[in-house]
Chain A
């Protein structure tokens, strides 16, 4: 426990353990069902008859193909959703949570700049999300091999990284709002609402042809657009998420340095 980031990880050790366990179990459950899904062609028939809008919500591909199954069951919603919950919770807690617990006064009586506190809290968030990401990737790798599911490691790694960076961006947003306002509720609420709106907007633009031109307005659009599970790494999108995240962290540091700490 030598720095703010390592102390934050120490505080989170139990939570990280349980989240990791949850991720592994969830992935195992979902992937291990796949063989029975693959052997039921009637499911494919059913999805083919679904209206376009619903198809858009669950993903375009055949549910019984390996890519279609993993995309629709995991990466379309569940993985980003869980990572978002984790990242937003942690981002909101980073500064605003500590402020609400009134431990921030004592921490900031030490010779450490507020910017540094923000940056180190962000590092802790990165490391936690990366832990979950690596576990998710490794479990998928092992499970797909074990159940003889044909998915490239490249695609799995790209899809996982895509989800981690997407969640990290929202985590940084929550961190920034918390750092700027000192309100954990605002940080949590605003960021969660934006994440939910982003998902809804992307789904709507996929269903309603008139709205298709406005799909750019949803962050979630950029999450699905690069199709990483099939296309692999796309530097442009990864760079986009990373830059947005970096900008939010910089803003968090600046705004946090300017305001009064609540008592």
Chain B
């Protein structure tokens, strides 16, 4: 396994009949990396992931997992992967424990003990029938079965959908531990914040095309945030655009509506003297970031 990147896609293209799945995808994820795969729904994230798992076959181009072609070394490749599908469907007639036993046997591993540990960490009752579980608890079952055999490569498609924030936090620390053990995580999401907090690098995909691969730091600098600041003694008479990062500002009564790009530190420093009653912060949505990348492409 050493020497090869965890994932390498080269010219990877998938059409479903006439419909484009992904087009000419070039991507390399190093072993031990926590890679975020970001894009709106229907952008081609799931297509890419299912190609890695040999669930579907490329129209052209190639894909490798630890140097192996999933098509010709299907079983070997899948032995290295823990997978959480984006649209999770489980065996509703089984209990969590029965499902973990079943999958542990298919992997011929002694991963059941670890499954029980993970259930405790994620607060999942694995003795209950999966059909009776809530959406969030089903998602936990999906996470546990992906993690339980300590795979060298974790492929997670929208992993935190349906999880409450406390469990999300625990899940994030599990992922951080996974990465610390030198294992690779490929995390797909349409939520910027999730990928931003977890991943070191991010690939951005839109309409089947990889728009950019960026370090998270570079991506964050593109993120614009909007702040509504309400002041106790009326909005201060500052020259807002002089504050580094503030790219747009207008003041209504005692509230300043600001758009900030990159770090918010200069803004906070500038406001330290003023009494603020309330802050509402909104991250710009993913679509705006995509557009910013698209504009770059158009410029080029």
Report which A residues bind B (CB closer than 8 A).
1-4, 7, 11, 101-103, 105-106, 108-114, 260-261, 263
* A-contact bits for B91-107, CB 8 A (1 contact / 0 none): 10110001001110111
Could you say which of B26-34, B71-79, B183-191, B261-269 contacts chain A?
A: B71-79
A102 and B78 contacting across the interface, CB-CB below 8 Å: no
A111 and B55 contacting across the interface, CB-CB below 8 Å: no
Complex partner residue of A2 from B46, B74, B87, B105, CB under 8 angstroms = B105
How far in angstroms is the closest Cβ of chain A from B65?
Answer: 12
B102 and A111 contacting across the interface, CB-CB below 8 Å: no
How far in angstroms is the closest Cβ of chain A from B245?
Answer: 42
B46 and A109 contacting across the interface, CB-CB below 8 Å: no
- Given A109-B53, A109-B78, residue A7 in contact with residue B87 (CB < 8 A): no
Chain A interface mostly:
loop
* A-contact bits for B102-143, CB 8 A (1 contact / 0 none): 110111000000000000000000000000000000000010
- Given A111-B78, A111-B79, residue A101 in contact with residue B89 (CB < 8 A): yes
Report which B residues bind A (CB closer than 8 A).
16, 46, 50, 53-57, 74-76, 78-79, 81, 83, 85, 87-91, 93-94, 98, 101-103, 105-107, 142, 145
How far in angstroms is the closest Cβ of chain A from B22?
Answer: 14
Complex partner residue of B105 from A1, A108, A263, CB under 8 angstroms = A1
A11 and B93 contacting across the interface, CB-CB below 8 Å: yes
A110 and B90 contacting across the interface, CB-CB below 8 Å: no
A7 and B102 contacting across the interface, CB-CB below 8 Å: yes
Contacts of A101 in B (CB 8 A): 89
B101 and A1 contacting across the interface, CB-CB below 8 Å: yes
The 8 closest A-B pairs by CB, nearest first: A102-B89, A109-B83, A111-B79, A260-B56, A110-B106, A2-B105, A261-B55, A111-B78
B75 and A106 contacting across the interface, CB-CB below 8 Å: no
- Given A102-B89, A106-B89, A263-B50, residue A112 in contact with residue B56 (CB < 8 A): no
Contacts of B88 in A (CB 8 A): 106
Bound complex: CA A102 to CA B78 (Å) = 18
Known: A2-B105, A109-B53. 15 other contacts (CB 8 A): A102-B89, A103-B89, A103-B90, A106-B83, A108-B54, A108-B55, A108-B78, A109-B81, A111-B106, A111-B107, A113-B75, A261-B50, A261-B55, A261-B56, A263-B50
Bound complex: CA A198 to CA B46 (Å) = 44
Bound complex: CA A172 to CA B185 (Å) = 40
B105 and A106 contacting across the interface, CB-CB below 8 Å: no
Bound complex: CA A109 to CA B57 (Å) = 14
How far in angstroms is the closest Cβ of chain A from B124?
Answer: 17
A108 and B53 contacting across the interface, CB-CB below 8 Å: yes
Contacts of A111 in B (CB 8 A): 75-76, 78-79, 106-107
B57 and A106 contacting across the interface, CB-CB below 8 Å: no
Bound complex: CA A51 to CA B258 (Å) = 95
Contacts of A11 in B (CB 8 A): 91, 93
How far in angstroms is the closest Cβ of chain A from B42?
Answer: 12
Bound complex: CA A75 to CA B246 (Å) = 85
How far in angstroms is the closest Cβ of chain A from B60?
Answer: 15
Q: Which of A102, A106, A108, A113 has the most CB of B within 10 A?
A: A106
B50 and A105 contacting across the interface, CB-CB below 8 Å: yes
Bound complex: CA A111 to CA B142 (Å) = 17
B101 and A110 contacting across the interface, CB-CB below 8 Å: no
Q: Give 20 CB contacts A-B under 8 Å.
A: A1-B94, A1-B101, A1-B102, A1-B105, A3-B106, A101-B89, A102-B87, A105-B55, A105-B85, A106-B88, A106-B89, A106-B142, A108-B55, A109-B53, A110-B103, A110-B106, A112-B75, A113-B74, A261-B56, A263-B87
